[in-house]
Chain A
């Protein structure tokens, strides 16, 4: 298993090139993506600051309600980010679905990626009976794919 540990050149601390995430959270994300298909679904998984542990799944409204674009509602964004601040949490995972294409960041995804510390998780729902789930770091326009390690019972989901 490729748990490549290296120092991120942009100074965001140690980056472990793997996303470890509970299967219950993955199931909830996939269910959200399926529910909103063919529109894109989006959301966050918050976790305690500095632990790289996605613990609390938050479905976000796709304010664009589009099959090819997503955008957090600005007021919900503020509310959820404040809530994380109050709880000493950070956005560990930011996810969205692609509903007709592969689970790989588009040029749009890369241009807008504004959370260098987050894992960007993409789910493709283009196949009706299986999902493609992939995770990336997007820092300064550079996309780095990482392994997704799905485990059981790291959190109470």
Chain B
């Protein structure tokens, strides 16, 4: 048994072009470590230097946004399906201000 992970176009350079890969792990963090061992660099695109999930990457377990399930600590089970989508965002505002607004929104959503 394994966990299926759907890889977005922009990250397929890490998976040899594969749209779907398999991995294992008890938590999202564990799964990303496992994937990174075979797809070197993938984790760095999803996790910040501080060890949190990147704000502008959406990760879903089955039909749930992982932010509501505990982020990298979210528990996974064999047979789960993970979908990774880069957030679609932008706008006229300068980058720093946009990131600050987005950061506040993320904090509000996760209750942290």
Asked if A98 meets B92 with Cβ closer than 8 Å, knowing A69-B98, A81-B85, the reply is: yes
Complex: A111 Cα to B95 Cα, angstroms: 8
Asked if A107 meets B88 with Cβ closer than 8 Å, knowing A74-B65, A75-B65, the reply is: no
- Minimum CB–CB distance from A123 to chain B (whole Å) comes to 12
Asked whether any CB of chain A lies closer than 8 Å to the CB of B71, the reply is no
Sort chain B's interface into a size bin: 20 to 34
- Minimum CB–CB distance from B2 to chain A (whole Å) comes to 20
The interface stretch among B21-29, B31-39, B55-63, B72-80 is B55-63
Q: Which residues of B contact A72 (CB under 8 A)?
A: 87-89
A interface with B by C-beta (< 8 Å): 12, 40, 42, 60, 63-64, 66-72, 74-75, 77-78, 81-82, 94, 96, 98-101, 105-109, 111-117
The answer to whether B105 and A64 have CB atoms under 8 Å apart is yes
Contact partner of B90 among A75, A100, A105, A117, CB < 8 A?
A105
The answer to whether A70 and B90 have CB atoms under 8 Å apart is yes
Complex: A1 Cα to B86 Cα, angstroms: 34
Q: Which residues of A contact B1 (CB under 8 A)?
A: none
Q: Which residues of B contact A114 (CB under 8 A)?
A: 8, 10, 56, 85-88
Q: Which residues of A contact B86 (CB under 8 A)?
A: 112, 114-115
The answer to whether A106 and B90 have CB atoms under 8 Å apart is yes
